[in-house]
Amino acid sequence: MHAEIALLPGDGIGPEVTAAAVSVLRSVARRHGHDFAFPEYDVGGIAIDRHGVPLPEATLQGCRRADAVLLGAVGGPKWSDPNAKVRPEQGLLALRKGLGLFANLRPVRPHPAALDASPIKPHLLTGVDIVVVRELTGGIYFGEKTRTADAASDLCSYSVVEIERVLRSAFRLARLRRGYLVSVDKANVLETSRLWRDVAARIGREEFPDVRLEHQLVDSMAMHLLARPREYDVIVTENMFGDILTDEASMLAGSLGLLPSASLGDGKAGLYEPIHGSAPDIAGKGIANPYATILSCALLLRHSLELHEEADCIERAVDGALNAQAFTGDLARGGRGLSTAAAAQAVIEQLQAHCYVAELRD
Ligand code: IPM
Ligand code: MN
């Protein structure tokens, strides 16, 4: 098939991890006879430098035209002056909003070979298989902000429609998995959370009676996630709680560098990015972990291009690379880590073993 994948490398380690991921996608395309084009656009700090805005119109239009978007990361110290009028992160937020990507899927599945990299005891981690569904275009991220010399405010607001649509995505996913959904809120304090909980209960009762729905307060969820992660399956929550809980959940997998994400809306188009940031401290050194971005490509193939076999190939190849101890520094635990390019190469080599060309199978 022919597909257009808009490439937004962004800042910091973004260009390094996206280049690594594109090399894997090209290899998959070659093996399966696909033709992927990668038109490239600026977003974040580099877009501020080149165009004066974090999300140029050409970038948004290019992403709208594409079948899917692959993004690295945005932000860095250069653009972090607290008094700056524009910030790189605004570009990412405007892109998510502009593309209508309200459901952000963040799978967390610790890899057996990487258990040692986690600060959590290994016996708690085996069998952990969670997907966090984070609401991505509402809440405190997008509410009105005010600032005076001696006060500031950020408004958190949610409409019923915004809650319903992300809850439906989460319920549908839960139905395909273990039929168990945990909805996370702070309903003992926040009005938006009380609305969230009411809507979740109603959607569950009326549309998904076959799915077991449980409500959890976000503070106790933060604890349970580390104390008994195996019990959870699909977790759905609002924008900022999801941001925080998924950085926490990345420690189950051993590294922030292992967690991919898919941001989806109503259609098939989506935005795929690692959950980690631009890591300015290691940018330009060629040592960033590319696995989160490579795994995001698997999600891209599955959700936007419906290339399920190819998506499975990438996931098996990453499994294989980790089994073969192809670790970047974040996973190597004091040992010397592989370079970003070498880790991507390890995945490409594993594709040979794990990626069967269609003619051979038929
Ligand atoms: C993430 C990031 C972003 C967020 C930042 C870079 C705006 O932390 O994707 O989790 O907070 O959503
Ligand atoms: Mn985050």
Across the range 262-281, mean pLDDT stands at 97
**Cβ–Cβ < 8 Å for 317, 298:** no
272 has catalytic annotation: no
243: CA distance to ligand 1 center in Å?
Answer: 7
Percent of the chain, pLDDT > 70?
A: 98
Distance CA(279)–CA(285), nearest Å, equals 11
Backbone angles phi, psi at 7, to 5 degrees: -110, 120
The fraction of the chain above a pLDDT of 90, given in percent, is 93
Separation of 75 CA from ligand 1 center, angstroms? 10
Give, for ligand 1, the residue of 92, 141, 237 to mutate: max count of ligand atoms closer than 8 Å to Cβ.
Answer: 92
Return the residue whose CA atom lies nearest to atom 7 of ligand 1: 89
Q: Which fold has domain 119-253?
A: Isopropylmalate Dehydrogenase (3.40.718)
Model pLDDT, residue 361:
47
Atom 12, ligand 1: residue with shortest CA distance: 243
Angle (CA) 196 200 204, round 5° = 175
Given a cut of 80, whether residue 334 has pLDDT beyond it is no
Residue 92, pLDDT score: 98
pLDDT band at residue 359, thresholds of 50, 70 and 90? very low
Q: Do domains 1-103+255-362 and 119-253 have the same CATH topology?
A: yes
Task: Please say if 219 is a catalytic residue.
Answer: yes
SS (H, E, C) 230-283: HHCCEEEECHHHHHHHHHHHHHHHCCHHHCEEEEECCCCCEEEEECCCCCCCCC
Residue 243 among the catalytic residues: yes
| pTM as predicted | 0.95
Superfamily of chain region 1-103+255-362: Isopropylmalate Dehydrogenase (3.40.718.10)
pLDDT category at 337 given cuts 50, 70, 90 is very high
Whether 141 is catalytic = yes
Instruction: Give distance in angstroms: CA of 30 to centre of ligand 2.
Output: 33
Residue ranges per domain, the chain?
1-103+255-362, 119-253
100-137: pLDDT as tens digits: 999 999 999 999 999 989 999 999 999 999 999 999 99
| Contact present, 129 and 233 (Cβ < 8 Å) | yes
Ligand nearest to the CA of 247: 2
